[in-house]
Amino acid sequence: MRKQRLKLSTLIIIVVCIVVLFSLLITSVLVSNTIKDTIHKTTEEKAEVIGKTVAQSEVVQLALKKDDDGKRVQAYASEIQRSTDVSFIVVMDMKGIRRSHPNEDLIGKHFKGGDEREALHGHVSSSISKGTLGESLRSFTPVYADGKQVGVVAVGVPMKSVSEALADGNKKIIIGSIIGLIVGAIGAYLLSRYIKRILLGLEPHHIAKILGERNTMLQSVHEGIVAVDKEGNINLVNKSAMDIFKRAGLKGNPIGMHINDYMDSTQLPKVLELGKPERDKEQNINGIKILVNRVPLTVNNETVGAISTFRDKTEVNKLSEQLVGVRTYADTLRAQSHEFSNRLHVISGMLQMEHYDDLKQYIHEIVELGSQESGDITSNIKDAVLAGFLIGKLSLAREQNIKLSIINDTIIPEPNDSHITHEMITIIGNLIDNSIDSLVTSSVKKKTIDVHLKYDNGRLIIDVIDSGLGLKDELDHQIFEKGFSSKGENRGYGLHLVQQSIEKLNGHIKINANEEGNVQFSVVINYPKKEEDKC
């Protein structure tokens, strides 16, 4: 059975109460001992002062010097005893014989206790001893007359009075301790409530669990994450971020370093200063391009740090290219489906009108055209994916009333890597689409697109020529920029992707005008062919 954990508030109250109780207990013992010593010392000093006063009295000194009957000494001692509230004042001679005593029957008898010897030798002393009046604290003071000791004065304070004073002091200590314990318990409760509120009502084991889940989540996400405090010092870097940093040549553990000291291309300090987020920004880290989002961390309307999430732009581009490829395939299939649907409608109409001869001729033309197009492409282009793609583009162009011609100057072998096929589809597809878009809105009567393919010793040469109105000279250097388009917003990505794919295949592209003034895109790329299997 799982052991139940104590709540944080309960644990704080218990710990604080134990600490307060222990502290009060130690304090009470120390204070009690101090009070006890103080009471004893005060009582002793009181008895000593009274003893010195009596010892300096002429009545006492003359009586002891002349060795008279002591009646005057008894009267004097009794008067001092009543006024000072002590239990006894005893005057004795050098033989220890009492000359005064609260009990007159004991006058003339020897002093009891044995603690008067030191005083009989001329020394002031004190002790706790039991005599005829019970246990008492006794002070002994020598009596001198004409420079000669003639006796001793003993002053006694009953220990009962001392004990009562000590008990009264201890009672006050106990009351104070109880009040302190109650105040400590209330303070512990309020402290636990305050800490619980700061921790959003979570228990320590809940916080530990959340922290563990957070760390696991941060380390498992594919995006790189870097967090800094309000001074710009790095306090969090996940595994994906470290992988990107290592590829960029950044070494060492960045935790604790200032973000500008670790990489000088960051804009996180700017986000900290302005408190405004930045989204989808491009950053270059030693040649590694990343796509970054930067967001300030705000607590109670105060910026306490900033966090940056980023991803290698190469991966983002790959995803974009894959989406473009899927869209191209979809458009091609849609065009073929639309063209096939139109032909079925024509065939259905001829059947209903019973124009069988015309229907026969129409079907013959379709079959012959399809066979010719498919045969030319499949016989000259050995890559089945690329061939099927181009056949689909023929249908797409016919749908727009544009004549698309695939002209194979040589046999195009299958590439040794399917990655090349994907890049080829991106290049040829976007160039054809770009020409189709320009011809659809063009006023020219003859709308044609010629695609020339030529393989030459490990290189593939692609020329795409359309019969459009051409391209303005001042736009030649802009058309490959991301997002640039003369056809409206949310366009201008096709030729940008074409250029990226050409760069990946270590090729180049040129824009020329043929003799008729039409635009010609000439692309040359590395195209290693697939080696034939040998038996």
Could you tell me the CATH superfamily of domain 355-526? Answer: Histidine kinase-like ATPase, C-terminal domain (3.30.565.10)
Give the DSSP letter string of 266-291.
--HHHHHHH---EEEEEEEETTEEEE
Round to whole Å and give the CA distance between 246 and 312. Answer: 12
CB half-sphere exposure, 354, CA atoms < 13 A: 0
* All residues at 6 or more sequence positions from 463 whose CB lies less than 8 Å from its CB, including other chains: 450, 451, 452, 520, 521, 522, 523
Retrieve residue 163's tokens.
């004990």
Round to whole Å and give the CA distance between 70 and 59. Answer: 9
Round to whole Å and give the CA distance between 152 and 139. Answer: 10
CB 328 within 8 A of CB 428: no
Mean pLDDT of 500-529: 82
Is this model's pTM higher than 0.75 or not? Answer: no
Mean pLDDT of 335-351: 68
Mean pLDDT of 255-260: 86
Q: Please, what is the average pLDDT of the chain?
A: 78
Round to whole Å and give the CA distance between 211 and 200. Answer: 14
pLDDT value of position 313: 67
DSSP state of 529: B
- Quick: pLDDT tens for 163-189: 777 777 778 778 877 887 788 788 888
First to last CA, the chain: 70
Tell me the sheet residues that pair with 524: 461, 508
- Quick: pLDDT tens for 73-107: 888 888 888 888 788 888 888 888 888 888 888 88
Q: Do domains 224-312 and 355-526 have the same CATH topology?
A: no
Give the DSSP letter string of 422-460.
HHHHHHHHHHHHHHHHHHHT---S--EEEEEEEEETTEE
Round to whole Å and give the CA distance between 13 and 65. Answer: 73
Burial of 149 (0-12, 13-18, 19+ CB in 10 A): middle
Please, what's the largest Cα pairwise distance for the chain? 177
- Strand order in 448-456's β-sheet? 403-408, 448-456, 459-466, 519-526, 508-513
CATH 3.30.450.20 at 9-165, yes or no: yes
Round to whole Å and give the CA distance between 80 and 202. Answer: 73
3-state secondary structure of 466: strand
pLDDT above 70 (res 238): yes
3-state secondary structure of 395: helix
Retrieve residue 308's tokens.
């940056």
Please state the length of the chain.
535
pLDDT value of position 473: 53
CB half-sphere exposure, 447, CA atoms < 13 A: 18
- Quick: pLDDT tens for 352-392: 777 777 766 766 666 555 545 565 677 788 888 788 788 77
pLDDT value of position 474: 46
Helices 313-353 & 418-440 angle (0-180, nearest 10): 60
Of 153, 77, 64, nearest to 116 by C-alpha is 153
DSSP state of 145: E
pLDDT value of position 524: 92
Q: Which residue ranges make up each domain of the chain?
A: 9-165, 224-312, 355-526
Query: What confidence tier does 2 reach under pLDDT thresholds 50, 70, 90?
Result: low
pLDDT value of position 488: 47
Of 244, 425, 395, 437, nearest to 322 by C-alpha is 425
CB 301 within 8 A of CB 328: no
- CATH class of the domain whose range is 224-312: alpha beta
pLDDT value of position 243: 84
Of 465, 454, 406, nearest to 431 by C-alpha is 465
Residue whose token pair is 């030649």:
476
SS (H, E, C) 300-361: CCEEEEEEEEEEEHHHHHHHHHHHHHHHHHHHHHHHHHHHHHHHHHHHHHHHHHCCHHHHHH
pLDDT value of position 461: 92
